[in-house]
Structure formats: structure tokens, C-alpha cells
Structure 1
Amino acid sequence: MSLTLTVDGDRWRAHLRKVAGEHPGLVPVAKGNGYGFTLGRLARKAQWLGVDTLAIGTYDEIGHVAQRFDGSLLVLTPWRPFGAALDLDPAEDPALARRLIHTVGRVEDLHALLTRQPDARFVLERMTSMQRHGLSARGLWAAARALAEHPRARLEGIALHLPLAQGSHLSEVTRLMNDVVAAGLDTTTVWVSHLTDDELTALRARYADYTIRPRIGTSLWLGDRDALRVTATVLDVHDLERGDAFGYRARTAPKSGHLLVVSGGTAHGIGLEAPTGESSIKARAATLARGGLDAVGFVRSPFSIDGKQRLFAEPPHMQASMLFLPSGAHVPQVGDLVDVRVRYTATAFDRVVIT
């Protein structure tokens, strides 16, 4: 009756150990929906891996992981002097405060953080070509001057969050590292995201006196897709004749076939689309094709039967979806499982089963 993520436990754990072994200083990233696994489960797996630091997305996520992972917690969202970051009072929970590593991307925020907590732990984020958060080269120099006024401050390193664009990041990273060296900051640790293994090797060789700490999420938790299977349950099957009405909107069947009701709907993230990074002509053509199907009421669903993605009979509901099977297609029975292709970072599963 559920939308279920089933994990081949032995294979998944072997993959996690392999990635950890290949990446010295690994910082697993657990944020959002926990890549489909939930934050708590990933925190426990990070503890099992034996890493000393877990990266999370926001301050609101701390409560999901703090009791399941006993190491340091790096918050990727930059610290600001307002909002959820201020809900954590170092005086009320000094033990948790000592575990937190904040991300700082503005000099004024650095002053505000250290005024509030003089011994705060933090990384300084350098702005990259993503143009999202971070300090400029001059900002790093200003931060170095500011830190001279705060002798108890605990600078844990410099953070670089690079884009996912194709091509090598090495030239950009080299330029950014030159800024780090020139700023004269009292740290030799650099936290990086989205570098390939070859780029990490080259960076470590070029800056041998620096410790490079890769923050890895997707390729860690979801790197072996064959260890993961998502299934939905067939809840009902109905015969349809051409012209029969069905669903919330009383659509009519374009031809005879079967109506399948399966678990998984908008509450799980099924049928909800987000912009993708695809920019090729083929990807654009596929988008136009989907739009044309939508205009006539035929939209391909992520549910597969006999290896073929089936059409939504109508837009998915909160916790279930209706699929149309034409005559001649194999018809599953109530209680059967059908495979579902999902975007893990945008899907909330009813159950996660690790064998």
C-alpha cells in the first residue's frame, strides 16, 4: 500500500565504505529530505562510517541529526544574524554549540557571530563562479583583519562550493586558492564541493601543505543506483470502455483498456516537476513533446509496467495516481508492485527498507 524505497543493504554499505576509503577527510552531506533516506538515517550511517564531521543544509535540520551523529555538524547555509541560527543559544546548550561549524560569507556576519559567540567555530566561504554565497578576495583579507580582534575565534577552514557545470574546475580552484594563500588566514584546511576524483588528486598535489576535505552527498548516498529500487503498490484495477468517465475531473477514456490506481502521488513528490539542468537540443525537444502530450491529456508517468513507462490517466492525487493501460497491455493484479522512476532528492517515501 506504500511508495517504497528498497535498498540492497550489503551492496549499499559496500559502496559507502568504498567512497569513504577513496576520499580522505570525507564530509558526508545530509540535507533536505536526506536524499530520500531521511536525515536521521543518513546521520546514523555517517556515524557508522566513522567520519568526524557531517554537513547539513540548514539550522532547522540540526534537530534531526544531532542525537544520531555525535561529531561536528557543518551547516552549509550561511550564518545570518536573524532567523533559525539565533534559535540556538550557546549559553543554553554549550555542548551542541561546540559541535557546530557555521558557514560565514559576509564580513559583517563574522563580526555579529563572534560578538554573540566569541569562541564560535566557522568556515569562511569564498565566492565561486556559482555567484551564490561567499566572500570576494578583498572580503577574505577583511575577514583576516577582523579575526585579529577576536583571539578566541575558531576558524576551521575555507569553503568552496563549485558549480556542477561540465569541464574542469582546476583553473578556477587554482585562482581561488591563490586568494586564500594571499589572505594570510590562520588555516590550512579547504572544504570543497563538486570536484571530481582527478581534480581532488591534482589539488592535493598542487597544495600539499593544505588539507582538502571533500563534501559529498549524491555520489555517496545515491552513487550505486543498482542498489536502490522504488516500487508502488497496485491498489485497484478497473476495466474501461471508450467514452467511460473516471477521476476527479470526469475525463473520458480515449479507447478501451484498464485504469490502474497505484500508490504514490503529489504528497510523495510524484508528478511535481522542477527545472532541470538539461540544455541540449534533445532535452528541449523532449520538453516540448511532454507539453504536447499534456495538452491532449496524455502525460507519461514515472510508473513502469513490463519495462514501459505508462501514461497518467489524469494528474496524480495526494497519495495515489491513476494510470491508463491500453487493451493488450499486461494488467497487474491488486497488490502487485510496479517500478517507479523518481528524483530521490524530491521524493518522500512511505517506507525505506534496507535489507
Structure 2
Amino acid sequence: MSLRLCVDGDRWRQHLLHTVSARPGIVPVAKGNGYGFGIGSLARRCEWLTTQSEQTGTGIDVLALGTYLELAQAADRFSGDLQVLTPWRPLGAALDVSETLSNRVIHTVSRTEDVRDLTERKPDARFVLEQLTSMRRHGMTRRELVEAARVLDDRRLAGLVGVSMHLPLNTASHVGEVERLLNDVVSTGLPTRTVFVSHLTIGELTRLRSSFPDFVIRPRVGTDLWLGDRTALSVTATVLDVHPLERGEAFGYRGRSMPKSGHLLIVSGGTAHGIGLEAPSGDQSLRSRAATIARSGMDVVGLVRSPFAIDGKQRLFAEPPHMQASMLFLPSGARVPGVGEDIEVRVRFTATTFDRVDIS
């Protein structure tokens, strides 16, 4: 009786090996909910990928995490270095990294003042300097990188591991922007030619490596690695109860009336799992806007499409999801699944917490 992620283990493992082979120097990303698998599970999988280096041609020596609080979930399951993507700041969990773990942590530094502060607190700290990309979330401009290079030179610090770039999504090509940023690295005089970069295609990586043969370009990959073969992944929910209802009968927390006769299905999976919680969409197309308007109109009359599907057709929520279960409306004439049957669920993996993850 659970919301379950089922993984075709053979197919998934082959996809992981292929992805690692195609991207030499790959740095897997495991953050947040671990793309639905959990950070600990992905850390163990990275350790396994390291044992497959003869087959893939590349070992996994660095795992990227989102925050300092996530270090504990990966440290005992992966033996390599741990890169924290959230920039270091002189506060909170960034100051609580244990001495036994600190030599494995690669910090991300995105402000010149933090270069000074981090290295004053810990002269042997290892770190990457994040460059400001067109995403404009965190990072240093070329002028700030020059100042950071001066600090490193004056203090004779040797902890610089490389530079970091976090590129935006949905652009035609990143090559032009990355070329400009790499030229900035050269002009600043930074003592590194290693670059950690997110969201590059294999074709872009090949082109950049050809244009900048003296650089070591290390792609950080999350979604394409763990979720790149969706045919290996399926999500199911258990039918917990089935109730026939006539039109006008009341149901649910709010005593709504059934709009027509049919069945009320109670299935596992609710807001505690992320069901019914929707992140803002970045799609600004006319079609997307029209779909948003259509959904709003359905919501006004109490009809909202759910992610639960029966016989290939997505069914409507009867009311907003509960914490650990959801109520679905199944109209008369549709096949009624039995209690205990598993039905399909279409979810956003990065926003869903599963009761079970079963890898065959």
C-alpha cells in the first residue's frame, strides 16, 4: 500500500554505464530528493560506477551535492570527493563541516570576500571559483576573478581545484558563452585549467574540448544520468478503497457533492509525497498558457486532472489530495480497479518522495 518507484535494474544500469562512458570526467549530481532515489542510494551507485571504470573508461572521483546539510547522506556511501554546489557563506552548516570530512569537501566560492574569509578560517580548504553566467544566480565577473586570483597569489594558497559554471536551460547553444568564460579564466591568470560545468550536451563538450585542448572540462550531470532513460522507470500507487456513489452524494473533507454517478477511488500518494504540488512552469508558449487557463477553468468547477492513470487515461481528483492518499473520481462505464491493484502515476521525479524504490 504505497507510492512506489519501480526500476528495471538491467536497463537502468546499462544507461548509467553508457552515460558515464560518453562523458569522460563526469561529475554526477545527487541533490534534493536524489531525483526520487534518495541521495544515499545515488551515492552508493556512484561507488559502484567507480568499480566499473574499466568498462566505462572513467572513474567517479567527485560527487556533487546541493547543500552542506546533504554531506552526511553521501559521505559514508561514496569514498571520493564531495563538491557542494551552494556557494560557501560564513554562516550555518557551511561552518559545521567536521574535520574528518573537510579534506574531502570541495567548496563553491562565488564572492571575492568569501575567498578571503574561507581561506582565513581554513587555509587548506579546497574550492572552485564560480563564474557569473547568463543565468545570473551566483558567480564572479571577470574583474572579480582577477581580484580572487590576486588573493590566491598573495597568500600562496594551493586549494583552488578549478572554476565552476552553471549554465541556463533552453538555449540554442552554450558554446559561445562558455568560450567567452574560458577566455576570461585565461586572462585572469588563475592557476587552473579545470572547469566544472552544468548543462552541456555531448556535442558541445566535444567542440569545446577541441577548441580548448589545454582545459580539463568536467561535465556535471544529474537528470540525464539518473532519469535519462524513462522507459526504465515506472511509478505506481495502490488502490486502497473503492466506493460507488450516486450523483449528489456527499464525500470528502469538504462535503462536496458527486457531480455524476460513478466511483470514488482512494489511492496511495498525497501531498506528503509531492502529489498535487506543482512548481511554476518555465514554458511561456501560447499552448502552455492555454493549458493553464483550461486547468483553471476545471478547478473552478472542482475538476482537476490528477497524475494517476487507469488503463492509460489520467483521472480527475475528486478533491485536493490528502497528506498520504488521494481521492479520484471514476465515471460510470470506466473499468473499476480492485482494492490492492497498482495503478500508474505520472510524476515529476525531482519533486516526489516515494514510499519504496524497488530496483530489480
* TM-score, length-scaled by structure 1: 0.98
Question: Which among 120, 125, 131 is matched to residue 120 of structure 1?
Answer: 125
Deviation for aligned residue 1:65:
0.4
Structure 2 residue matching 1:213: 3-state secondary structure: strand
Deviation for aligned residue 1:151:
2.0
Question: Which among 95, 110, 116 is matched to residue 115 of structure 2?
Answer: 110
Where in structure 2 are the equivalents of 1:185-204 lying within 5 Å? 185-204=190-209
The residue that corresponds to 1:231 in the other structure is: 236
Deviation for aligned residue 1:19:
0.4
Give a deviation string over 1:139-183, Cα, whole Å, max 9, x none. Answer: 110010000122243110010100002301111111111111101
Matching residue's letter, 1:3? L
Matched, 1:71 2:80: yes
Q: Counterparts of 1:169 and 1:212 in 2: how far apart (Å)?
A: 14
The residue that corresponds to 1:11 in the other structure is: 11
Matched, 1:347 2:348: no
The residue that corresponds to 1:280 in the other structure is: 285
For the Cα contact (< 8 Å) 1:232–1:339, is it kept in 2? Answer: yes
For the Cα contact (< 8 Å) 1:118–1:150, is it kept in 2? Answer: no
Q: Counterparts of 1:88 and 1:75 in 2: how far apart (Å)?
A: 11
Unaligned runs of 5+ in 2: 51-59
Aligned-pair identity (%) = 66
Bigger drift between 165-174 and 324-333 goes to: 165-174
Structure 2 residue matching 1:201: 3-state secondary structure: helix
Q: How many residues align?
A: 351
Give a deviation string over 1:45-91, Cα, whole Å, max 9, x none. Answer: 011111000000000000100000010000000000111101125xx
Structure 2 residue matching 1:30: 3-state secondary structure: coil
Deviation for aligned residue 1:246:
0.4
For the Cα contact (< 8 Å) 1:114–1:150, is it kept in 2? Answer: no
Give a deviation string over 1:114-137, Cα, whole Å, max 9, x none. Answer: 001101100000000000000000
The residue that corresponds to 1:182 in the other structure is: 187
Q: Counterparts of 2:137 and 2:315 in 1: how far apart (Å)?
A: 39
Give a deviation string over 1:268-305, Cα, whole Å, max 9, x none. Answer: 00001110111111111111100000000000000000
Matching residue's letter, 1:78? P
Deviation for aligned residue 1:24:
0.5
The residue that corresponds to 2:305 in the other structure is: 300
The residue that corresponds to 1:27 in the other structure is: 27
Q: Counterparts of 1:63 and 1:96 in 2: how far apart (Å)?
A: 9
The residue that corresponds to 1:88 in the other structure is: 97
Unaligned runs of 5+ in 1: none
The residue that corresponds to 1:62 in the other structure is: 71
Structure 2 residue matching 1:291: 3-state secondary structure: helix
The residue that corresponds to 1:337 in the other structure is: 342
The residue that corresponds to 2:175 in the other structure is: 170
Matching residue's letter, 2:247? R
Structure 1 residue matching 2:86: 3-state secondary structure: strand
Structure 2 residue matching 1:101: 3-state secondary structure: strand
For the Cα contact (< 8 Å) 1:3–1:233, is it kept in 2? Answer: yes
Matching residue's letter, 2:93? A
Q: Counterparts of 2:287 and 2:47 in 1: how far apart (Å)?
A: 42
Q: Counterparts of 1:110 and 1:280 in 2: how far apart (Å)?
A: 41
Structure 2 residue matching 1:303: 3-state secondary structure: strand
Query: Root-mean-square deviation (CA), in Å?
Result: 0.7
Q: Counterparts of 1:172 and 1:141 in 2: how far apart (Å)?
A: 19
The residue that corresponds to 2:54 in the other structure is: none
Question: Which among 242, 264, 280 is matched to residue 259 of structure 1?
Answer: 264
